[in-house]
Amino acid sequence: MNEKEIAELRRRFRADKSNIARVCGCCVNEKREIISRFDQSLALMGQEDAGRVLGLLRKSLSGTLDRNLVDIPFETSQVAGGEEHGLLMALRNSQLRDEQALETFFQRAAQSLELEGNYPILLAFDAYDVPYRSRDGLRQEDASEEVFSYIVCSVCPVKLTRETLGFSADENRLCTLAADWAVAAPETGFLFPAFDGRSTNLYNALLYTKDTARSQEGFVKAVFGTPAPMPAQEQMETFHTILADTLSDACSYEVVHAVHDQLRGLMEEHKAAHVEEPLTVTGQAVGQVLSACGVEAPQVEAFERQCDAAYGAGADLSPRNLVDPKQLELRTPDVTIRVSPDRGDLVETRIINGARYILIRAEEGVEVNGVQVRIRDEQ
């Protein structure tokens, strides 16, 4: 799925556009026991409550593609007869009215999730009459291509609010409002099936994870029957480790900055071109950048081999999961320097009289704790 397709579905989760009639779910305690089940009509809720429920479901379609929102592919054999895929299909095809399928799903999810405290698992079904879109991108609401039927799941922690000072209108006085349990934004969730090319794709699901450092491995295995993809944060840490290990002494500031600058440039070009499909690179593409920086061939080959070993041979990687396009940071045990990503040329490293230095060209004003300082010309 691309960002436009996700945004198109996300707009469905608003009170004035939603076709979701009900939400069902369960509450799970810290012992992974289901302590209650519920099935509520949104129409019978107040408008504000229904809007909050839809907001929680919409959160499971939010965040950055390939970081918070990750594609989960199914093998052909799974689609043909896999138990996990079959359960998801039963939930979808029954519009969440198959009681046995619901109970099986909730039990699997509860036993596999690793969350602290109590939490509800929310499930909703929607049937989206997909408007026809012409070649120029204009929607024709009265013309439909297909009905996209799907389920969306949100797993939300419950957090205890703090006691706070409030005002009681009934008693006309200031008073303490008691602490209470409130449902927070989801930690994880998913969409099934995927909405690829604005059409149903039964061979994919879309996983949501709030924390890009967590893989939700148990949940993914239990619900989808597939290995969990490497978390975005782990992808970046792995990339950094491979660079440092394989390049060794050749891993200079200039080389790392060149890799960062090249990947950041690709992201900017991709955004400016308004390309719908996500941008990806391979370890071999990064290897070409290293070669252009003068890194020797054996080290480049070692880098590419380790990328294949860590991510999979020829794996397509999101540049956003390899470098942070919004910052360029240099760090020593005592000093942290943050540089605007497009001005890495202001920084260089040198060895002067046997000591290693980070030099920053300061052509304009310099401030120290908000105070303008002058740099004296040493004669």
**Do residues 42 and 140 both lie within one domain?**
yes
pLDDT at residue number 137: 58
Q: Give the mean model confidence (pLDDT) for residues 86-94.
A: 97
Burial call 130-169: b when 16+ CB within 10 Å, e when fewer: beeeeeeeeeeeeeeeeebebbbbbbbbeeeeeeeeeeee
**Do residues 343 and 197 both lie within one domain?**
no
Which distant-in-sequence residues (6+ apart) come within 8 Å of 272 by Cβ? Answer: none
Query: Is a pLDDT exceeding 70 seen at residue 269?
Result: yes
**Which residue range is the domain that position 220 belongs to?**
3-229
**Do residues 93 and 109 both lie within one domain?**
yes
**Do residues 45 and 169 both lie within one domain?**
yes
Q: Tens digits of per-residue pLDDT, 141-173?
A: 566 778 999 999 999 998 877 777 777 788 888
Last residue of a domain, one of 286, 309, 326: 326
What's the rounded Cα separation, in Å, for the pair 75 and 318?
22
What's the rounded Cα separation, in Å, for the pair 62 and 85?
24
pLDDT at residue number 98: 96
**Do residues 65 and 89 both lie within one domain?**
yes
**Do residues 322 and 336 both lie within one domain?**
no
What's the rounded Cα separation, in Å, for the pair 213 and 191?
20
**Do residues 196 and 261 both lie within one domain?**
no
Last residue of a domain, one of 177, 205, 229: 229
**Do residues 251 and 134 both lie within one domain?**
no
**Do residues 164 and 244 both lie within one domain?**
no
**Do residues 161 and 44 both lie within one domain?**
yes
Q: How many domains does the chain have?
A: 3
| Model pTM score | 0.86
Q: Tens digits of per-residue pLDDT, 336-351?
A: 999 998 899 999 999 9
Q: Tens digits of per-residue pLDDT, 240-268?
A: 999 999 999 889 999 999 999 999 999 99
Q: Give the mean model confidence (pLDDT) for residues 273-288.
A: 90
Contact between 56 and 45 under an 8 Å Cβ cutoff? The reply is no
**Do residues 192 and 283 both lie within one domain?**
no
**Do residues 111 and 173 both lie within one domain?**
yes
